[in-house]
Amino acid sequence: MYKEIICSGFGGQGIMVMGKLIANAAMKENKEVTWMPSYGAEVRGGTAHSKIIVSDKPVASGLFYEPQDCIVMNRPSFIKFEHVIKKNGLMIINSSLVSDKTDRDDLKIVRIPATEKAKELGNIKVANMVALGAYQRITNLVKLESIIAILKDVFPPYRHIMLDINKQALHEGVKLADEYKS
Amino acid sequence: MKKIFKKSPLLLDPVTHYCPGCGHGIVHRLVCEVIEELNITEKVLAIAPVGCAVLAYDYWDFDTTEAAHGRPLAVATGIKRMRPDLIVFTYQGDGDLAAIGTAETVHAANRGEDLTCIFVNNGVYGMTGGQMAPTTLLGQRTTTCKSGRDKKRDGYPLKISEMLAVLDGVCYIERTAVNKPKNVILTKKAIKRAFVNQIEGKGFSMVEIISQCPTYWALTPEEAVDKIENEIIKETPLGVIKDV
Amino acid sequence: MTKNNQKDKNRVLMVGNHIIGQAAIEAGCKFYAGYPITPQNELTAYMADNMPEAGGVFIQAESELAAISMIFGASVIGERVMTSSSSPGISLKQEGISYLAACKLPAVIVNMQRGGPGLGNISPAQSDYFQATKGGGHGDYHTVVLAPNGSQELFDLTYLAFDLADIYRTPVLVLGDGVLGQMAEPVTLKPSFKHEKTKVDKSWALAQTKNKEPKVVKSLFLEYGALENLNKELKKTYDIIESNEVRAETFYIDDCEIILVAFGATSRICKKVMMTLRNEGLKIGMIRPITLWPFPKKIISDAAHKKVKFLVVEMNMGQMVEDVRMAVFGKSEVHFYGRTAGIIPSEKEIIKKIRSLS
Nearest CA in chain A to C13: A24
Q: What is the DSSP letter of B230?
A: I
CA angle A46, A52, A57 (to 5 degrees): 160
Q: Please state, rounded to an integer, the average pLDDT across all residues of chain C.
A: 93
Answer whether CATH 3.40.50.970 is correct for domain C12-198+207-244. yes
Q: How far is B74 from chain C (nearest CA, A)?
A: 5
- Please list every residue in chain A whose beta carbon sits closer than 8 Å to the beta carbon of residue C7: 30
Question: Chains touching chain C at 3 or more Cβ pairs under 8 angstroms?
Answer: A, B
- Please list every residue in chain B whose beta carbon sits closer than 8 Å to the beta carbon of residue C171: none
Q: So where are chain B's domains?
A: 24-243
CA angle A17, A19, A22 (to 5 degrees): 110
Q: How far is C4 from chain A (nearest CA, A)?
A: 9
- Please list every residue in chain C whose beta carbon sits closer than 8 Å to the beta carbon of residue B64: 206, 214, 216-218
SS3 B156: coil
Looking at chain A from residue 128 to 147, which residues have their Cβ under 8 Å from any Cβ of chain C? none
Distance CA C35, CA C68 (A): 10
Dihedral, C111, C114, C117, C121 alpha carbons, nearest 10: -150
Q: How far is C74 from chain A (nearest CA, A)?
A: 33
**C138 touching B, CB under 8 A?**
no
CA angle C287, C289, C294 (to 5 degrees): 135
Q: So where are chain A's domains?
A: 2-181
CB A33 to CB C179 under 8 A?
Answer: no
Compute the average pLDDT of residues C309-313. Answer: 98
Residues of chain A with pLDDT under 70: 39-46, 181-182
CB atoms within 10 A of CB A90: 20
Give the pLDDT confidence score for residue A40 in this predicted structure.
57
**B73-117 confidence digits (pLDDT tens):** 999 999 999 999 999 999 999 999 999 999 999 999 999 999 999
C13, C49, C114: best mutation site toward chain A, by most A Cβ within 10 Å? C13
Give the pLDDT confidence score for residue A68 in this predicted structure.
97
Q: So where are chain C's domains?
A: 12-198+207-244, 248-357
**B167-220 confidence digits (pLDDT tens):** 999 999 999 999 999 999 999 999 999 999 999 999 999 999 999 999 999 999
**B125 touching C, CB under 8 A?**
no
Give the pLDDT confidence score for residue A41 in this predicted structure.
55
Residue C1 pLDDT > 50, yes or no? no
CB A61 to CB C6 under 8 A?
Answer: no
**C199-237 confidence digits (pLDDT tens):** 788 989 999 876 578 899 999 998 899 999 999 999 999
Q: How far is C70 from chain B (nearest CA, A)?
A: 4
Looking at chain C from residue 20 to 39, which residues have their Cβ under 8 Å from any Cβ of chain B? 30-31, 33
Alpha-helix residue ranges (DSSP H) falling in chain C: 16-26, 41-50, 64-76, 87-102, 129-133, 151-168, 178-182, 226-244, 264-279, 297-303, 320-328, 347-357
Give the pLDDT confidence score for residue C327 in this predicted structure.
98
CB environment C21-31: b (16+ within 10 A), e (fewer): bbbbbbbbbbb
Compute the average pLDDT of residues C48-58. Answer: 96
Contacts of A67 by beta carbon, 8 Å cutoff, 6+ apart: A4, A5, A6, A51, A81, A84, A85, A86, A89
CB A24 to CB C344 under 8 A?
Answer: no
Distance CA C196, CA C7 (A): 24
Contacts of A23 by beta carbon, 8 Å cutoff, 6+ apart: A33, A34, A35, A52, A54, C13, C184
**B29-74 confidence digits (pLDDT tens):** 999 999 999 999 999 999 999 999 999 999 999 999 999 999 999 9
- Please list every residue in chain C whose beta carbon sits closer than 8 Å to the beta carbon of residue A39: 38-39, 122, 178, 182
Sheet holding C81-85, edge to edge: C57-60, C31-34, C81-85, C107-113, C171-177, C144-146, C291-293
Residues of C near A (CB-CB distance < 8 A)? 4, 6-7, 11, 13, 15, 38-39, 122-123, 150, 178-179, 182-186, 265, 268-269, 271-272, 344, 347
CB C13 to CB A35 under 8 A?
Answer: yes
Domain B24-243: which topology? Rossmann fold (3.40.50)
Alpha-helix residue ranges (DSSP H) falling in B83-145: 94-95, 102-110
C248-357 has the same fold as C12-198+207-244: yes
**B220 touching C, CB under 8 A?**
no
Sign of the four-CA dihedral C18, C33, B41, B197: negative
Nearest Cα neighbor of C136 from C107, C169, C93 is C93
Q: How far is C245 from chain A (nearest CA, A)?
A: 26
CATH classification for the domain delimited by A2-181, as one of 3.40.47.10, 3.40.920.10, 2.40.50.140, 3.40.190.150: 3.40.920.10
Going from the C-alpha of A182 to that of each of A96, A127, A176, A177, A178, the distances in angstroms are 20, 22, 10, 9, 6
Sign of the four-CA dihedral C134, C137, C142, C147: negative
Looking at chain C from residue 144 to 163, which residues have their Cβ under 8 Å from any Cβ of chain B? none
Among B55, B65, B82, beta carbon nearest to C57: B82
- Please list every residue in chain C whose beta carbon sits closer than 8 Å to the beta carbon of residue B76: 73
Compute the average pLDDT of residues C116-136. Answer: 92
CA angle B170, B176, B178 (to 5 degrees): 145
**C68-102 confidence digits (pLDDT tens):** 999 999 999 999 999 999 999 999 999 999 999 99
**B189 touching C, CB under 8 A?**
no
Compute the average pLDDT of residues C305-317. Answer: 96
**A11 touching C, CB under 8 A?**
no
Distance, C-alpha B16 to centroid of its chain: 18
Answer whether CATH 3.40.50.170 is correct for domain C248-357. no
Give the pLDDT confidence score for residue C200 in this predicted structure.
86
CA angle B5, B11, B13 (to 5 degrees): 100
According to DSSP, the β-strands at C291-293 and C144-146 are antiparallel
CB B65 to CB C33 under 8 A?
Answer: no
CB A61 to CB C269 under 8 A?
Answer: yes
Cis bond leading into C148, ω under 30°?
no
- Are C283 and C258 in contact by the 8 Å Cβ rule? The answer is yes
Sign of the four-CA dihedral C68, C64, C45, C21: negative
pLDDT band at C241 (very low <50, low <70, confident <90, very high): very high
**C214 touching B, CB under 8 A?**
yes
Going from the C-alpha of A87 to that of each of A63, A83, C309, the distances in angstroms are 19, 10, 36
Write down the pTM of the prediction: 0.93
Residue C3 pLDDT > 50, yes or no? no
The residues facing C312 across adjacent strands are C261, C336
Q: How far is C236 from chain A (nearest CA, A)?
A: 39
**C282-309 confidence digits (pLDDT tens):** 999 999 999 999 999 999 999 999 999 9
CB B62 to CB C96 under 8 A?
Answer: no
B11, B45, B82: best mutation site toward chain C, by most C Cβ within 10 Å? B82
CB B82 to CB C30 under 8 A?
Answer: yes
